[in-house]
Each structure stands twice: as C-alpha cells, then as structure tokens.
Chain A
Amino acid sequence: MIRLVDRNRRVRVAAVVVLVALGLFAFMEARPALQQPDALAFVDLAIEHPESMNVGERIPITVQGLAGDQVVHLSLDAGYGPRTFTSLSSDGEAQFLVPAAEGPGAGLVLIEAVSGVRRGLSTMEVVPGDAVSPLDVFLGPRTIEVGTGDIAMIVAVPADSFGNPVVTGTDVDYTLTRPGGETSTDAAPTEKLLSYIEVGSRTKTGRNVVSARVGEAQGPERIFDEVAAFAVPFEIAVVDAIPVANGRDLFSISTGELFDQFGNRLPDGTIGHLELSGVTGRRRMSASAIDSRLHFIIEAPSKPGQAIAQVFTSAAESEPLSITFPTAVAQIPIEITEGPEVSRIDVGRVVEPDGAFIPDGTPAEIISDGKLYDVIIESGLVSIVVPTANDVQVTILGETASAQGPTR
C-alpha cells in the first residue's frame, strides 16, 4: 500500500516536471515572435521641398497628409547626423523654414518627417558654397633632391564657410616660387573633393614656396626644399701644421666644399667618413657636413712615419692624402750606473725637436738584458734599478736608443 502511494506521487511529480518543461519550451519558442512583430510602417506623409538648394539658403519644407493638428518632427541629415526641427500641423500640413545657419550640410540630404507612427521620406541635393579662406593645403614630401626626378605634391581641399568641400570641378590656382625667385602658376580642378599638382625637382637647390587660391580664398603658403643629392669628387687637406708623432696632439683634416654635379652645395648633415692608415694601424671616423664641409679631428700617431687619409661620401671620394708625421723625440740620453749588486739606468732628459721636454706621462719601454720594463716619463726623465744592465735599449714614441753597460 505504501509503495503504491509512493509510486503515484512519483508519477504526479514526473508529470508536473514534464508539463513545466513543455511550458518553458513553448514560451521560449513563442518569445522571438513576441519580440519581432515586424510590419511595414505607414509611410504616407508627403514632403514638399525644392529639388536642390545652395548651402546657406533657408530651405522651405512642407509636410503634407496630416490629419488635424499634430506634432511633426522633421530631420535633415547630410551624413554627419540629423538636424531636427519640430512643428505643429495646421490644415493637414506642417510648414518648416530651415534656417541657413542650421542647414544640413552639402551633398545628398536625407529628409525624414515623423508624426506618431506615420512617416515621410525624401532626399534633396544641397550644393556647397564658394571656397573660403583658409584653404586646407597639404604638401609633401618637404625635401626633394635635385636632378633625381623627385616630386613634391601640393594637395588642396577647398571648403565653403560651412566646412563643405566645394563643387567638383572648382579650379584651384597654385603659385610656385622657385629658388632664385622664378615664379610660375598652375591650376587643377577639384575632383573627389580635392585638387592637387605635382612639382618635379630641377637642378638648382633652395627653397620653394607654394600657395593655393580659389578665387579670393587663400591658404597658408607651404614650403619645400630642393637639396643636392650626391657629391662629386672633392679635395681634402690638413688644416693646421702636421704635429709630431707624440700620440696626443690633435690635428684636423677637412674637405673642401662639397658640390653636386650641378654645382649646388651639399646640405649640412651630409655624412662622410675618413679612413686613415699608417704605422699605428687603421682608423675610421664619421662626420656630418657643416657649411658643406666635412671636418675630422684626429689624434697624432704615437710613431713617426707616413699615413694615408681618404674621405668618402655616399657617392664620391677624395684623392688619397699622404701625411708624414715627424718624430717627437730629438734625443734619448741613457746613463747606466753600476752598483755592487744592482745597476741603475737613467733615461733623459728626453726632449722634443723644439727642445721642450716630452710631455709628462709619455710611456717608455726599457729592455735591459732581455727583460722589458714599462715606465712613464716625468719632466723628461725616468730612472729604474735593474739587476744587470749590460745591454740596454730604450724606446720612446717609436724612437729607439741603446747603450752598453760595463761588464760586471
């Protein structure tokens, strides 16, 4: 009996669950239909308006087909969004006079009238006005190279006082002042909202000034430079006296003025590099042109001898320049004093060709009986104590002197 009651209860519960599930399913199925009872809206309001208007003119618009006094919303949209106006209908129509300052903008304007669920649709053409200052003028590139066929382009986007691009076919006049003052004019009509001209490079470097004009409307002048492209071969020279090979004095190598094939000076910032090879090895350094010259400051080598300098730019190079660095050491006196157990070597005073002591800190190598001693000279002197000093050799800045000590 108890089992029978339980079974009945289970059946009832199961039935309720099934019914609930079915109900939910039916609700879910029915819901989209409830949400989207799509139907064609009632579009029967007639909109009367001119087919075409000029921007800035007041636009008379009449909405017809209204019943009695009703609120009518009118919107005009040229693309950036609607301008909306509201009026009350009278005798079945509502009249609007869209103020010039609140016009929709130029182009094809979408006109919509709404009164309750009744709607009206139309389009009209609004013609842009004349161009006004300042014109939008874009120019680029701002630097082109002479004699290479490079082109600078000037683009103008003339617009009327409401910001609308002017009518297609509007001529834009361009005035170009070349380096040297030569002036030329060109014209190009607008198409797809803009107008452009191309200016090719010629053979004279300098500043070009371009201006654009549409009738009385002008834009800011734009500037681009024509610059020399590649240098032709050039000369180099040591600017000051060639220093002695003391490893510390500085000297300069400079190019002459760098010119291109048309005789234009190369612009500042032109990169060049110097290659210098000599007894102390090779070195390479870069410089930027200032006043169309490349200038290199170099440290004198620490050994006398010949060095070859040559300067390169991207397309040209100088003739090799031979530089001979004289010795920095006039004489190297060596004195050996033998003691009972050790010997003393005194070097100096070492002097330069002009008689001055060689600078303090100059390194020297002393080889005594095959053993190397690295020392620093101060006040032209250096002294060391060694076990034996039979055969002494001293090297300073590439110059070598030797001395024999008394045999112990």
Chain B
Amino acid sequence: MTMPETVERRTKKRILRLSLIIPLLCGAAAILLLSSAIMASIVSDQETQDIFTDAAVIPPELLDEIVWLDDPDDLPREMEPLTRIAVTSSWIRAWEQLEIVARTGDTSGVEVYFANSAREGVLERAGQWSGRSVSQVGHDLQLSFYSEDGQVIGLSSVESHLVRTDRVDDVEFTRETRESYDAVLVLDDGNWRIHHWVRRSLEGGSWTASS
C-alpha cells in the first residue's frame, strides 16, 4: 500500500465521519429546539398565566412622565414617600385600566383601581367606547388632601397629557389633549382606589387621521 492511497483513505474516512456527525448534530439541535418549544408552551399555557397574574408592569418611561408638584403647606398630614409611590402607581394603573376597557371591553380589572361612583361610572360606559380609546402620556400631580389616618387622599392632576383616538372604518383619528382632574382616592384593602374623579379643564389639539 502506497502513501497517497493511505492519505486518500483517511480523507474519505473523515468525510464519511463528518457526513454522519453533521446530521446527528442537526438532529440533536432540532430535538433541543423542539423540547424547549414544548416546555415554553407548557409553562406559558393559559392555566399557568392565570395562576401567575401579576399586575401590569408600569413602563419606566411613563413613570418618568409623572411629576409631583410641591405639596400645599396646609396639608393635615405629610405624605410618606412609599405612599406617594403607591398612589402614583394606582393613578397610572387606573388610566391604563381605562384604556384596557376602551380597547377590549374587558372590565375584570376595573374594581381593582376604581371603587364607588368611579367604578360604576367606568362600568356603565364600558360598552360605549366603540372604537374610541384614551391613552396616557404623562401627568402632573398635586396632593390636595391627606387624611390624619392615611386613609383618604385628595389628588389633583393639574395636567394629564392624554392621547384620544377614534377609529372609524379603517381611519384612525388621533388627538392629543391636556386635561385636569380632581380626584378622591381611598385606601381599600391596602390598595388605593379612585372613588371619584372630575374633569376640570380640557385643551386639545387637532384631530389627525391615519389609515
């Protein structure tokens, strides 16, 4: 047996080995991908999602758009920093909830953020948005009252920057508004809920249409 023949045989063996190894690796990768996909579907099925339903995460950029103006000097009680964070969260989530109601008609989360007249108000109108919606861009908030026992808050949104949309057929009309509200929030079961809010002013831009 000559040397070139030996080299040629080795080369052929290598090719044969590679031709076997590559399909095997591909098969292993495919199995891995398939099993991970199955696992993902198992851990994210509807039942699991129902069990682990967390409150919606507030987008950080939205938190940046919440500005607290200075508290009035004559407040009966100073607000604690953690309470302010909780109220901020409740205010944002309440508006988020209103948008969910407007876009999907799903009212299951309304009672988490609204109570009393506010809850009834949102529920009564839930079926009448018909293509309209409202989304929040930012809020300038000011505390107007904080009760001695830390149970009731009077809150003014000096300026709520909102985007109101209305879809008619394939055309979506969009309009930015700057509105102000007075609100009463009450601590129920450890959660700040909006009992009332009343719009005090509204300034809006023009409608723009997009298809």
Task: Spell out A's residues near B (CB within 8 Å).
Answer: 35-41, 43, 75, 77-84, 105-110, 112, 114, 116-117, 119, 121, 123, 136, 138-142, 151-153, 155, 157, 159, 163-165, 191-194, 196, 198
Q: Which of B125, B150, B171, B182 has the most CB of A within 10 A?
A: B125
Given A80-B118, A192-B156, A138–B151 Cβ distance below 8 Å?
yes
Q: Taking CB as reference atom, which chain A residue is nearest B125?
A: A81
- The CA-CA distance from A193 to B147 in the complex, in Å, is 14
A43 touches B184 (CB 8 A): no
B184 touches A140 (CB 8 A): no
- The CA-CA distance from A196 to B122 in the complex, in Å, is 27
B206 touches A43 (CB 8 A): yes
List chain A residues, Cβ under 8 A from B10. Answer: none
- The CA-CA distance from A188 to B120 in the complex, in Å, is 28
A82 touches B129 (CB 8 A): yes
Nearest-Cβ distance from residue B169 to partner chain A, whole angstroms: 9
B122 touches A36 (CB 8 A): no
B154 touches A193 (CB 8 A): yes
Nearest-Cβ distance from residue A123 to partner chain B, whole angstroms: 6
List chain A residues, Cβ under 8 A from B128. Answer: 75, 81-84
B207 touches A41 (CB 8 A): yes
Closest 6 CB pairs of A and B: A140-B149, A163-B117, A81-B125, A80-B121, A153-B148, A41-B207
A114 touches B168 (CB 8 A): yes
B116 touches A39 (CB 8 A): no
Q: Give me 26 A-to-B residue pairs in the complex whose CB atoms sit less than 8 angstroms apart, sorted by A's number.
A: A40-B209, A41-B208, A41-B209, A43-B206, A75-B132, A80-B124, A81-B98, A81-B102, A81-B124, A84-B130, A110-B202, A114-B168, A117-B168, A117-B209, A119-B173, A121-B204, A138-B151, A140-B149, A151-B148, A153-B76, A153-B149, A163-B117, A163-B120, A193-B198, A194-B184, A196-B145
- The CA-CA distance from A206 to B10 in the complex, in Å, is 103
Q: Total interface residues on B, using CB and 8 Å?
A: 51
Given A40-B207, A155-B152, A196-B76, A79–B147 Cβ distance below 8 Å?
no
1/0 contact string of B125-168 vs chain A (CB within 8 Å):
11011101000000000001101111110101000000000101
Residue from A39, A82, A155, A164 within 8 A of B198 (CB atoms): A164
List chain B residues, Cβ under 8 A from A194. Answer: 145, 152, 154, 184
The yes or no answer to B183 lying at the interface (CB within 8 A) is: yes
The yes or no answer to B19 lying at the interface (CB within 8 A) is: no
A79 touches B148 (CB 8 A): no
The yes or no answer to B49 lying at the interface (CB within 8 A) is: no
List chain B residues, Cβ under 8 A from A36. Answer: 210
Given A108-B202, A194-B145, A81–B209 Cβ distance below 8 Å?
no
Nearest-Cβ distance from residue B59 to partner chain A, whole angstroms: 22
Nearest-Cβ distance from residue A22 to partner chain B, whole angstroms: 27
Residue from B144, B195, B200 within 8 A of A136 (CB atoms): B195
List chain A residues, Cβ under 8 A from B92. Answer: none
- The CA-CA distance from A106 to B118 in the complex, in Å, is 12
B196 touches A123 (CB 8 A): no
Q: Which of A81, A140, A163, A164 has the most CB of B within 10 A?
A: A81
The yes or no answer to B113 lying at the interface (CB within 8 A) is: no
B196 touches A159 (CB 8 A): yes
List chain B residues, Cβ under 8 A from A37. Answer: 210-211
- The CA-CA distance from A100 to B119 in the complex, in Å, is 20
Q: Taking CB as reference atom, which chain B residue is nearest A116?
A: B168
Residue from B117, B124, B147, B202 within 8 A of A164 (CB atoms): B117
B144 touches A192 (CB 8 A): yes
B173 touches A41 (CB 8 A): yes
List chain A residues, Cβ under 8 A from B117. Answer: 159, 163-164
Extra contacts besides A109-B199, A114-B168, A198-B148 (13): CB < 8 Å = A41-B206, A80-B121, A81-B102, A81-B121, A84-B130, A108-B201, A117-B171, A138-B151, A142-B149, A155-B152, A159-B117, A163-B121, A165-B198
